Amino acid sequence: MENKPHILCVDDDDKIRELLKVFLRKNNFSVSTAESVDEAQKLLNLFIFDIIVLDIMMPKVSGTDFLNTFRKENINTPVIMLTANNQLDIKTKSYSLGCDDYLSKPFEPMELILRIKKLLNPRVNNTKNDKKYYFGDFIYESNTKKLNKNNKIVNLTTNEEYLLEILINNLNKAISREYIGTKLNIDSNLRSVDVIVARLRKKITTDSETSFLKTVRGKGYMLISEYE
């Protein structure tokens, strides 16, 4: 039996839920739907999902509040936010809370498919296999693409993982916000790049407040490794 990626679609609009369910199933995805955050939480307790498609504007509990809650619980399932509101501050808040992508309504269903596939498949080809990179108490293993601190895995969102890979592949070199935005498919919103960088920087700052992710004035960002 084929193991299809399992997508959770959370939206209070019946028509949109049905559209997403039909279209995603036609494109070889397994789909569960929820019309509220409460219903979505029950499904998360029952299943492991590969992607969550989450509407922001919902009654009682908003999509952003729900995202904030399960990120605090270290649930790192990739999340695509949907909203009819395309204001920059809402988009920036979504990225700051740990969303991985953002689509404004109305959207073409095929665009959602393409974004889901990008999140399901690695976008950075790491040719430096089987290497370890050291940042104070942190170790990044290129073969597993995991970040560890004192032998414990550091939980990263999908965009944070991709950003770390980009930085690793350009170690000790300054790379521009525009380059990062293009790689993360958010090149139209450089403020969102800054938000994701800030989230990753916070996670790879040592207990002594040493940060290895530096801002290079006029150039962008640089990851500094003590040794490989």
What are the boundaries of each domain within the chain? 6-120, 132-223
Please give the single-letter amino acid code of residue 46. Answer: L
Residue 189, pLDDT score: 67
Candidates 199, 219, 223, 214; CA nearest to 100 is: 199
- Give how far the C-alpha of residue 135 lies from the chain's centroid of Cα atoms, to the nearest Å: 22
CA distance 156 to 12: 28
Q: Please state the pTM of the whole predicted model.
A: 0.62
Residue 221, pLDDT score: 92
Candidates 157, 199, 150, 173; CA nearest to 70 is: 157
DSSP state of 140: E
Highest mean pLDDT among 2-11, 28-37, 176-185: 28-37
Confirm if 93 and 64 have CB atoms less than 8 A apart: yes
Residue 155 has pLDDT above 60, yes or no: yes
Per the DSSP assignment, residues forming a β-bridge with 146 are 141
Please tell me whether residue 120 adopts helix, strand or coil conformation: helix
Q: Sheet containing 152-153: give its strands across.
A: 132-135, 138-141, 146-149, 152-153
Q: Which two tokens stand for residue 187?
A: 């090149």
DSSP state of 111: H
| pLDDT tier at 24, thresholds 50, 70, 90 | very high
Confirm if 100 and 159 have CB atoms less than 8 A apart: yes
Q: Centre a 10 Å sphere on the Cβ of residue 57 and count the other Cβ atoms it contains.
A: 16
Residue 129, pLDDT score: 52
CA distance 73 to 50: 17
Please tell me whether residue 219 adopts helix, strand or coil conformation: coil
Average pLDDT, the chain: 84
Confirm if 140 and 171 have CB atoms less than 8 A apart: no
Candidates 56, 2, 48, 45; CA nearest to 25 is: 2
Residue 11, pLDDT score: 94
| pLDDT tier at 21, thresholds 50, 70, 90 | very high
Third-level CATH fold of 6-120: Rossmann fold (3.40.50)
Do 132-223 and 6-120 fall under one CATH topology?
no
Third-level CATH fold of 132-223: Arc Repressor Mutant, subunit A (1.10.10)
Burial class (CB in 10 A: 0-12, 13-18, 19+), 127: exposed
Greater model confidence, 122 or 19: 19
What is the average per-residue pLDDT within 143-164? 84
